[in-house]
Structure 1
């Protein structure tokens, strides 16, 4: 093999690592590998990277990542291609040292786009198993709201209460999520200047503030605070803005199983 003809063989390590060379190029590069420890190390490193990507668990990124990528496609200007400037022919031949330095610089320039291409191939081949952004049903719950996570939890437990006026309220709790949600149907409005206040009862029997109900007869509201050890949920009528502790008897108490 002509040395000058194959001087850029170092640049093919990335393509070789992902089996992107044709038969002739592959044979020549393997011949080159026999005498180039640097390329052998580089090929091994790229193959290790591809193997690590392929063994990773699929993850789902936030939807904002997809939106940002798509927006960037039209908003980011690509760099112009690298072109070589004409090199004047010297009156005298360059020294061996200068010739070697020039060939090394040329080889480095040639390697840049090929290494980028190899990186893209690695992502395209191994990344298919790693980066499955919009088809990972096992991870969907990671991005759900608190209310959705509670209502769809495997351990979700429901406690219902009916009022004399026909309205209803249901508390759903998930110990694994550590939160509770209340759902109301036809709930009457509280008196003027008053509000429905929500409470979580601690194992010691203390009622801890857990938020306020909106002025909506049909509402779904996640309770504030950790419900993983709560023994009950209560509703009281409090002054607008709520209170640090109940000021009236509960109009409803939802006992929660341990």
Structure 2
């Protein structure tokens, strides 16, 4: 059952029901790739937990738990899958490929539309771009990271709205610590460039925080992205 691989993210943050947990643990005993991914994601989750200095108030916990559903990373695939996020990446790749043409003399000719590439497009189209996706309450969130550009980007499809007074906060895991990487208060289909140097990031995460964000996370992650897996 290929979809069993997609349960690693939910398993890492204890978001599976008893049946799914038992099913995944049987698979985990035989799948080294999933064991490695779970270990990586749990490390990222632990970094977020260690950074939390104070316990969130009960109402914040209730809001977070109400917003969290099963977070399921997509398994690594040899070919691209259809979807809005992948379509956007394909668009970026096409634009990047058209931006530079090599002529017979060996000179590179830059096309006029090259300047129209957004920062997110450039990350998505980078030759060394890593990609990790998770499901969030019926929507999808994908993080792209380019080591050569030192940047990471978030692309969402049908991202659910956060409760009033809350925002999504993005984080990058660098040297074992989670550092803030920007705030997102919009829902639906979004493209967002994470702040900070992402060249050495091993994971990314999303939490729900009070308006204005937090210097350190005050809630459990609703999504974790393993950036160490080759795509």
More helix by share: 1
Q: Which has the higher contact order (CA 8 A, sep 6+)?
A: 2
More strand by share: 2
The TM-score, its normalising length taken from structure 2, stands at 0.49
The TM-score, its normalising length taken from structure 1, stands at 0.44
Larger Rg: 1
